Amino acid sequence: DAKTTQPNSMESNEEEPVHLPCNHSTISGTDYIHWYRQLPSQGPEYVIHGLTSNVNNRMASLAIAEDRKSSTLILHRATLRDAAVYYCILRGYDYKLSFGAGTTVTVRA
Amino acid sequence: DTGVSQDPRHKITKRGQNVTFRCDPISEHNRLYWYRQTLGQGPEFLTYFQNEAQLEKSRLLSDRFSAERPKGSFSTLEIQRTEQGDSAMYLCASSLKPAQETQYFGPGTRLLVL
């Protein structure tokens, strides 16, 4: 599996944007970039995914570098409910998700 | 759409006992996955079903573990002769479409082996 590298933790203030980086220098042309998050005591939940172009949905935005070797998940206005572990995952044709340790996001009121 | 459900949510057992967990996927989802998560780590893939067929098992799934999905709907994960190292959160997920599909996770079953 292609690997991703994320910071262990990040802190943010409530209602401020959060930019979560992910490095994936060994990404292949067919790998999609997926983000999931896991709130305390819950199973992971899907956030967003993309291939080459930037993507937006109601939860977040995904900015993908032109060479696709890195990406950034953007939470536009962090709330206390966004405190979670965020996982950046590369998926090719494999059906299973390969999680790393993720980034623990703390949101200060 | 009621989401993925898992039962029980918590299980405490003594070493050497057998335990069984149940997962009810979102209806009509043909793919079902089991993952295991230990404290401070991300989930690790255990096994995967497409309908009733078990298509892959991870090396993490020792002979003491068995999973079934008899009618292509709910699934069970059984651990025989539990060991303390089996203590973890066991997560189930389901999905509908092939490649690149979103996986929907249940709340997990937390197992503690004493």
The one-digit pLDDT tens for each residue of chain A (109 residues) are 568 999 999 999 999 999 999 999 999 888 999 999 999 989 999 999 999 999 999 999 999 999 999 999 999 999 999 999 999 999 877 778 899 999 999 999 9
Give the number of other Cβ atoms within 10 Å of residue B108's Cβ: 26
In chain A, the residue whose alpha carbon lies closest to the alpha carbon of B108 is A43
Cβ distance A97 to B103 less than 8 Å, yes or no, reads yes
Strands A103-108 and A9-13: parallel
Contact indicator for A89, A103 with CB cutoff of 8 Å: no
- Could you count the other beta carbons within 10 Å of the beta carbon of residue B31? 19
- Whether A45 contacts chain B with CB within 8 A: yes
Helices (H), A1-98: none
What is the phi/psi pair of residue B85, to 5°? -70, -10
pLDDT number for residue B98 = 65
> Is the pLDDT reported for residue B99 higher than 60?
no
Give Cβ neighbours of residue A49 (< 8 Å, ≥ 6 apart).
A32, A33, A34, A35, A55, A62, A91, B100, B102
Chain B residues 65-94 with a CB less than 8 Å from chain A: 91, 93
The whole-angstrom distance between A37's CA and the closest CA on chain B is 10
Residue pointed to by tokens 């651990």: B79
Share of chain B above pLDDT 70, in %: 96
Give mean pLDDT, residues B84-111.
89
Instruction: Give, as one character, the DSSP assignment of residue B96.
Output: -
Q: What are phi and psi of B86, to 5 degrees?
A: -80, -10
- How many CA within 13 A on the CB side of residue A57? 9
Q: Under an 8 A CB cutoff, do A93 and B31 touch?
A: no
Q: What percent of chain B has pLDDT over 90?
A: 82
Asked if residue B110 has pLDDT above 60, the reply is yes
Q: Give the minimum alpha-carbon distance from B87 to chain A in angstroms, rounded to a whole number.
A: 15
Looking at residue B70, its pLDDT comes to 92
Residue B111 has φ and ψ, to the nearest 5°, of -105, 130
Cα angle A99, B100, A50 (rounded to 5 degrees) comes to: 80
Q: Is the CB of B48 inside 8 Å of chain A's CB atoms? A: yes
Contacts of A41 in chain B (CB under 8 A): 107
Q: Over the stretch B50-81, which tens digit does the pLDDT of each residue have?
A: 999 999 899 888 899 999 999 889 999 999 99
- Predicted local confidence at residue B101, as pLDDT: 78
Mean pLDDT, residues B89-114: 89
pLDDT range class, residue B97, cuts 50, 70, 90: low
